[in-house]
Amino acid sequence: MSELGFRFIGHPMIDVGVATLCAAAGVDTPEKLTKAHIEDFSEYVINHYINSNLAGFLGSSVFPNARFANPAQLSMDTEPKRKQILKALFDLWKTNAPIPDKETPAKDGETCVFSNDPAVIRVSGMYIPGLTDETKINFMPQGKTKLPISGWCLFAILVMPMSGVIAEGQLMVVTAPNGKTMIDIAEANLTKNRKVMALDSSAPRPSYAFAKSEFISRLLSLFRKYAVVGSLTAYRFSASPDPSRGKITIEHLPSNVIRFVSRAQREFPTAWNAIVKKANWLGKNEYKIDPKGKKNTYLQGNYLYEDLWNLPHQSKHFLDIYLLRKRRKGNDDKNDPRFGYGLKTDFHLISWGLTELFLKEITGMNERRIDAIRDLADSLANYIREENKPKILKEIFEARDDNSFRKIVKRIPFETGGLHVGFDQFVDVYYHRDDMGNWRTDWRLARDLLVIRMLEKLREDGWFSENEAILTELATEEVEVGADPNSEDSDIEV
């Protein structure tokens, strides 16, 4: 632990703030922080927090009604007073620092609710997002208003926004299990935010139309630095003049999703990079400037990166859209490439290897079932190629239940060197046991996986060079985007 007290303690707001301070100081651990580092960054942050645009955002999104960021008191005349308030709050990490005006000192013996260090003041939702205001005792320990906090923890929370990004008017920050990973992410965001503020300190912080894509981009750069990144958790702050109505939205990117992305880049770079590239937002402008000067927006992003945050809950949706190339359902959006997906144009992007990796890493499907699906698909593809039966491919692609598939297979004559599908193989492909040990079928998933492997096998064997027209006849189902992640078709059960 640093002699100054700053350290990672496992609380997202504190840890993001500490990571931000380390990134600003250029150190890779809180233990290396010095008083000079803290003083320098404190001065930098204070000078920017009194800016009316940034203060207005903080007061409406993160620190509601804070005395230094009250939207009703943001003018040139109030800057000296607000700067004085900020300086007093930031200085509380120092030993024996005076308590700012209008703040409640902690009582002797009170400890910080975050770090268990000696507390210096008691604070409300003004400075701790998610708490109630200064008068409420609801859900507060011992029926008292406000919570006791140490000076360094308050400092960390106050600087946390400096390494966040703005998404739809809300602050978004990310945590990771590893402190060094957090510092690297904080450094990337802080550097970009500083560049914007250096260009025009009076301009509002830009918003990101694809904020989660921005964090995935940061993550990808870490793969070159760390063998294992772990998981990421995003916190989105939405404040309110009534702090009790504010909320914090939490979104998680599990380690197996990150591992899938890392392995996909290494093991299937051609297929993965092509699929990612075709998921980019199609607009030409990188930046949208608000003529009123209140909200500028980064427009570029990637739909696949955004959808990674919905895994594993929407695994079937991801597989349909990106691995089987099904078109997005709904009205066309000229900037959304998913409305242009389809086998006719994206046939070359079909990859069984990438699909198999997805099944193993994201869904946890057992290898026996994966092998059974691949073997059956190969047998079907070989029969279609040898007998030149494009109609069979179309019928399988359009099968609407497992009974339809059985009828198709039964029509394949054995005497022509056809196909024999045993009972065990059929069960392995089309059925799985649920948590209660009961057999359940997910024929739509099995059909789609068979089709992915059959298409790749027939492509590898050159069959489509003379049968390319069949691709236009495969009536691909359209996929509803934004469907309920808890709906029965959202998850892949294995």
Q: Domain ranges in the chain?
A: 12-249, 350-473
The pLDDT of residue 203 is 61
The pLDDT of residue 357 is 97
**pTM exceeding the 0.85 threshold for the entire prediction:** yes
Tens digits of residue pLDDT in 32-60: 999 999 999 999 999 988 888 888 888 87
Question: Between 147 and 322, whose confidence is greater?
Answer: 322
The pLDDT of residue 202 is 62
In this predicted structure, the answer to whether residue 455 has a pLDDT above a threshold of 50 is yes
Model confidence band, residue 413 (pLDDT cutoffs 50, 70, 90): low
The pLDDT of residue 473 is 80
Question: Between 205 and 450, whose confidence is greater?
Answer: 450
The pLDDT of residue 330 is 81
In this predicted structure, the answer to whether residue 478 has a pLDDT above a threshold of 90 is no
Question: Between 297 and 95, whose confidence is greater?
Answer: 95
Model confidence band, residue 195 (pLDDT cutoffs 50, 70, 90): confident
Residue 292 vs residues 193, 288, 295, 321, 395: alpha-carbon distances, Å: 21, 12, 8, 38, 57
The pLDDT of residue 304 is 96
What region, left, alpha or beta, does residue 248 occupy, with left being phi > 0 and alpha being psi -120 to 50 degrees?
Answer: beta
The pLDDT of residue 57 is 83
The pLDDT of residue 303 is 94
Ranges 190-204, 348-362, 429-443, most confident: 348-362
C-alpha torsion sign, points 290, 293, 298, 303: negative
The pLDDT of residue 133 is 64
Question: Between 330 and 476, whose confidence is greater?
Answer: 330
The pLDDT of residue 120 is 95
In this predicted structure, the answer to whether residue 485 has a pLDDT above a threshold of 50 is no
Mean pLDDT over 422-448 rounds to 76
Q: Are 409 and 419 in contact (CB under 8 A)?
A: yes
Mean pLDDT over 186-198 rounds to 86
Tens digits of residue pLDDT in 242-266: 655 678 899 999 999 999 999 999 9
How far is the C-alpha of 434 from the C-alpha of 413, rounded, in Å? 34
Sequence-distant (≥ 6) Cβ neighbours of residue 131 within 8 angstroms: 123, 124, 125, 146, 147, 243
The pLDDT of residue 132 is 67
